[in-house]
């Protein structure tokens, strides 16, 4: 019940605020994109901290790019 009220309340609040502040969607899009970019960069940074994972990713990326651009496979 609480989740339903919270979800409905937040949707209603967003609708009301969106109608009162002109151009809010323009700024909100940029904020959402910034949060997404920061989250993705943080995840990539976390993956690259471990040398074993970094070497594995490097080998996989080399293999993928060689398949795409050189049309051959590196093992």
Q: Is residue 7 part of a domain?
A: no
- pLDDT tens, position by position, for the chain (75 residues)? 899 999 999 999 988 888 888 888 788 888 899 999 999 999 999 988 999 999 999 999 888 888 888 876 665
| Distance set, CA 57 to CA 22, 37, 43, 63, 68 (Å) | 45, 20, 14, 10, 16
Q: Is residue 4 part of a domain?
A: no
pLDDT at site 73? 61
Domain of residue 38 covers 24-75
**Residue 17 φ/ψ, nearest 5 degrees:** -65, -40
DSSP 72: -
pLDDT at site 10? 92
Q: Is residue 48 part of a domain?
A: yes
Say what the pTM is: 0.53
| Distance set, CA 3 to CA 6, 8, 58, 75 (Å) | 5, 8, 43, 50
pLDDT at site 75? 59
Q: Is residue 41 part of a domain?
A: yes
């Amino acid at each position: 019940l609480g989740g339903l009220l919270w979800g409905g309340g937040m949707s209603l609040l967003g609708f009301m605020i969106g109608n009162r502040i002109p151009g809010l969607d323009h700024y909100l899009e940029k904020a959402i994109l910034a949060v997404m970019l920061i989250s993705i960069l943080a995840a990539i940074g976390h993956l690259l901290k471990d040398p074993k994972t970094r070497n594995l990713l490097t080998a996989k990326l080399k293999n993928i790019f060689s398949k795409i651009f050189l049309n051959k496979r590196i093992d």
